[in-house]
A and B are shown apart, each in its own frame.
Chain A
Amino acid sequence: MNKPIRRVSVFCMLLVLALMIRANWVQGLDASALNANVHNKRTVIEAYSYPRGDIIVGGQPVTKDLLVNGNYYKYRRAYVNGPMYAPVTGYTSQVYGSNLLENVEDGILSGTDSRLFFRNALDTLTGKGKQGGDVVTTIDPKVQQAGWDGLQGKKGAAVALDPSTGAILGLVSFPSYDPSTIAGANDQKAWDALVNDKTNQPMLNRALRATYPPGSTFKLITAAAALETGKVTDINAPTDSPDPYILPGTNNQKLVNEAGDTGCLNATMNDALAMSCNTVFGKLGAEIGQQKMLDEAQKFGFNNSSMTIPVGVTASNFDTNMGPAQTAQSSIGQFDTKATPLQMAMVAAAICNNGTLMKPYLVAEERSATNSVISQTSPTQLSQATSSDVAAKLQTMMVNVVKNGTGTTAQIPGVTVGGKTGTAQHGVDNADNPYAWFVSWAKDGNKQIAVAVVVEDSDTVRNDISGMHLAAPIAKAMMQAYLGK
């Protein structure tokens, strides 16, 4: 009987061997895939087992970590002034993942970034727990607060940039939400309420992720294209513009001016911008041509779907294939032209910065847990949107808008302010309430700021006046907050 017993022994050893091979497979080969599986709660449990680093605004953290000692999770994220900074910080939740800075800067905030490897290894050796690093934003709390206050009771967004560097000074979206309410393990009610609120869309980051028809504010780009292409050389020379303007290639389809018969006939480009003449800029755009308009729009940042600040930004759109009639409409910010508030702030910033468009950025510094700087964002040029000569003419025109035109509500005594209002219809047959825009910049000595504000659902008059009354005061407050005037 010994021969079969020996064989049974070999069989039993093979069984054990099979188990050992399988154990190596699961715990070795498969381990990283298993650890990365979305259903594996260990990742999240680990992430909340120690405090995250902070997101810092104006030297003060706007995030904090509460020691909750929950059933699964030790810490929970909480936010200071959560709703106001939600478009900046985003949220990080024990159940619902994360977004915006909390998401893209997770490596630093959780301390898992490879640049922190040596420090982490050292901490492991010395028995210190894992620590997250801090992310310092470019946001100016005063600017943010001014935008936030201005948008109360409305629906919209405001973005402020430093034109000379591209640093984002303010990033406001309203209505907003408090990310603290969805950070925990049992926040399904709050989450469902936020996600299902289709009318207010509190979690929509309108400043970066919503696109609106830019309306008359787009005339800045048309003006830039006209000057760059040499179509217009003297901003104070009369243009050859009928009123109304029959769209080229159409059967008597008229482009009219919102404000009625206010002198847009053959108006100079300077006056046309101040009065926001559709006829003048529609005709200019059609004559400049679709390709050159597109080139200019793209120099200002349109159609760039890969821009990150480092949070991803939705691309603004200027159609790439249009006939002259559509080009005319697109040149006054209608048809398929759409822009994020950040995009229109970039337009103002480029004009303010003598034609040089700086890449917008939200993160000034990344720091380790011991406050040593890991990386610092240095301003980079995104493009040369116009020559400095053209930019100077555009500045003159924008100052004229604020001094004598539709943007008088943005005047700040003792400060050079340039701006442009806009109103964009939307909805079927333009039935919905229009969007009110104001795009502006202000210079005071070495300090500069560019702001774009959009207000949805304005119930007031459907013309450029709404941009002047609804959006411009918010932009003015933000500029004042920054300049201290």
Chain B
Amino acid sequence: MTALESPAVVIAPKGAPIRRNTELSLLVFAALVPVLAYAETGLSMDGRLPAGMLWYGLGLGGFALLAHLSVRRCAPHADPLMLPIAALLNGLGLVFIWRLDKARELHPNYPAAQNQLLWSGLGIALFVAVMALLKDHRRLQRYTYLSGFAALVLLALPAFFPARAGDFGARIWLHLGSFSIQPGEFVKILLPVFFSGFLMVKRDALALASRRVLGLYLPRGRDLGPIVVVWALSVLILVFETDLGTSVLFFGIFVVMLYVATQRTSWVLFGALMAGLGFWAVTRAEGHVRGRIDEWLHPLAAARGAGVGQIGQALFALGAGGAFGTGLGQGHSWLIGFAAKSDFILGTIGEETGVAGVIAVLLLYGLLAERGLRTALAARDPFGKLLAVGLAAAFALQVFIVAGGVTGTIPLTGMTLPFVAQGGSSVITNWALVAVLLKISDLARRPAPGESLQPGTTP
């Protein structure tokens, strides 16, 4: 299993610029923008600069610098855009969480910004660790089945833990004392690793052994095994943990990776069909999921005596933002109430920075996902390609699922907006995800040792 085994377009020609200085200068902006946003929020809400501004700025800058140095040291050829985008999103997220911490109208309101900064630090630490310890992403292939098993265990765990009243229906948390983590977040990396390793081995069988019916290549019955297993798993998550988002996310990742591995459109159609079927069946049976769909269809329907639901409040917040927003710290997005800082943080962004801010954030996500996919294009080994596609698609899908839910595009499912929303598990997972992508891109953009590859060389 070497990089040369699978022919691929080689993107990075010899002598491609390393771009570490580009990354550094972008990081300066990525740290400066949130610090200025922090200052503006403080000025508009209290009429003075926030007291913690220096520490916040130093902390954010320090984290960014640490990450940058580790990239410079361990992945010098890596993509220069991903780290600054991640840092910018993380920094902006902290500002919005801090802003909501200051909303005295929000009840109950537990200060979360400091914890989030701590978690971001842990995320950076994990990022640095991945940079230093993961010499070559292909090593992950060795842990294919271990990853699969670990993913399964982590996914299953919350179902066996007692649910808490504050979890609002979805059982996706693990409560350890005052600590709670969402194991599903870590699975977002483990599953692509497993799928990549698995599909690497199986893809020929899946791609070639098929019958052609009505212009579509239909897979053989026995090759259906893996997709049926993953599908069943997704449905089980949905039923036992009532977590629509995670379920859709994992199935989506799998279908995307299957498609990329086999190049068979029929898998996509088949996957979509199965997803639709499973979704329909669960909707009929599961009240929680049905409630979510009702709320999506009628977000402005108010319960008797109460106001509209959370999606309705999120839509109000977005509508109030209009084109350019109310200005930082001047919106009323705390009306969203529960989860305003986590799943619904896009509502605050939308209200205080307007559609301009929402589109900017969405573009940052799109750019990050596209850099990941570009890494997949550039990667020279099929495992790296698949893994990069899986991680990038996981990222994009998660953004779509949560942002789509908050804006009422699709039914809402409990998910965090990567890097921005409050949530420790999410932040550290996403930093690790970016680290792995950077490692893959480092190898992809690195000139092959001792070789002088010509641009566009295809054997």
Contacts and interface: CB of A to CB of B under 8 A. Distances in A.
A70 B213 CA distance: 69
Interface residues of B, number: 55
A4 B259 contact: yes
A37 interface: yes
B174 interface: no
B321 interface: yes
B408 interface: yes
B206 to A, nearest CB: 13
A189 B269 CA distance: 60
A42 interface: yes
Interface in A246-277: none
Given A26-B318, A27-B321, A2 B8 contact: yes
Interface centre among A1, A34, A39 (most CB of B within 10 A): A1
Contact of A6 (B316, B362, B377, B397): B377
Return the 10 tightest CB-CB contacts between A and B, nearest first. A34-B319, A16-B366, A27-B355, A12-B396, A15-B400, A31-B319, A4-B260, A9-B373, A22-B409, A23-B358
Interface stretch (B60-68, B93-101, B307-315): B307-315
Contacts of B260: 1, 4-5, 8
Interface of B: 6, 8-9, 104-105, 256, 259-261, 263, 300, 302, 307-308, 312, 315-316, 318-323, 332, 335, 350, 354-355, 358-359, 362-363, 365-366, 369-370, 373-374, 376-377, 382, 385-386, 389, 392-393, 396-397, 399-400, 403-404, 407-409
A23 B362 contact: yes
Nearest to B308: A39
B1 to A, nearest CB: 15
> Dominant SS at the A interface?
helix
Nearest to A7: B259
B363 A27 contact: no
A15 B319 CA distance: 21
Contacts of A9: 370, 373-374, 377
A263 B19 CA distance: 115
B392 A26 contact: no
Interface centre among A16, A45, A72 (most CB of B within 10 A): A16
B377 A8 contact: no
B259 to A, nearest CB: 5
Interface centre among B261, B321, B355, B386 (most CB of A within 10 A): B355
Given A8-B393, A26-B318, A20 B259 contact: no
Given A13-B366, A42-B335, A18 B409 contact: yes
Given A5-B373, A16-B362, 13 more contacts: A5-B385, A12-B393, A16-B369, A19-B404, A22-B404, A22-B409, A26-B407, A27-B321, A27-B358, A37-B316, A39-B307, A39-B312, A71-B104
A2 B320 contact: no
Nearest to B354: A27
Number of chain A interface residues as a range? 35 or more
Interface of A: 1-9, 11-13, 15-16, 18-20, 22-24, 26-28, 30-35, 37, 39-42, 45, 71-72
Given A8-B393, A39-B308, A26 B319 contact: yes
A33 B359 CA distance: 21
Contacts of B8: 1-2
B376 A20 contact: no
Contact of A18 (B307, B376, B400): B400
Contacts of B389: 5, 8
20 contacts: A3-B263, A4-B263, A5-B389, A8-B373, A9-B374, A12-B396, A16-B363, A19-B362, A19-B407, A20-B358, A22-B407, A24-B359, A26-B315, A26-B407, A27-B354, A31-B322, A37-B300, A37-B308, A41-B335, A42-B320
Contacts of A23: 318, 350, 355, 358-359, 362, 407
Contacts of B312: 39
A13 B370 contact: yes
Contacts of B261: 1
